[in-house]
Amino acid sequence: MSEEDLKEEVIRAIKTVYDPEIPVDVYELGLIYDLKVFPINNVFVSMTLTSPSCPSAGTLPGEVEQKIREVEGVNDVSVELTFDPPYTTEMMSEEAKLELGFM
């Protein structure tokens, strides 16, 4: 599997993780800031939360990591939580904005 194909599979896996308070997956919500696949299929994800005091802070990054580890071909996973830049609703995809009534 090519790095690009693996990246698509990783994105599919991330899209199965939902913020428990919002009916939109974390990818479409714009919480994934960066996603890289390095040689030997190591995956790096930089993500944020809707706020630093998000009640899901203890679970969402771990759930993202777990879903990525389940993707066939992934060797190792590193998920980094950041709040820079701070999350805004402008980071949501068009699909998420429609789902949540922002459009």
pLDDT tens digit string along 2-30?
888 999 999 999 999 998 888 899 999 99
Go through the domains of the chain in sequence order and give each one's CATH number: 3-83 (3.30.300.130)
Helices in the chain by DSSP H: which ranges? 3-14, 60-69, 94-99
Alpha carbons 100 and 21: distance in angstroms, whole number: 12
51-73: pLDDT as tens digits: 888 777 788 999 999 999 999 99
Q: What predicted TM-score, i.e. pTM, was given to this entire model? A: 0.91
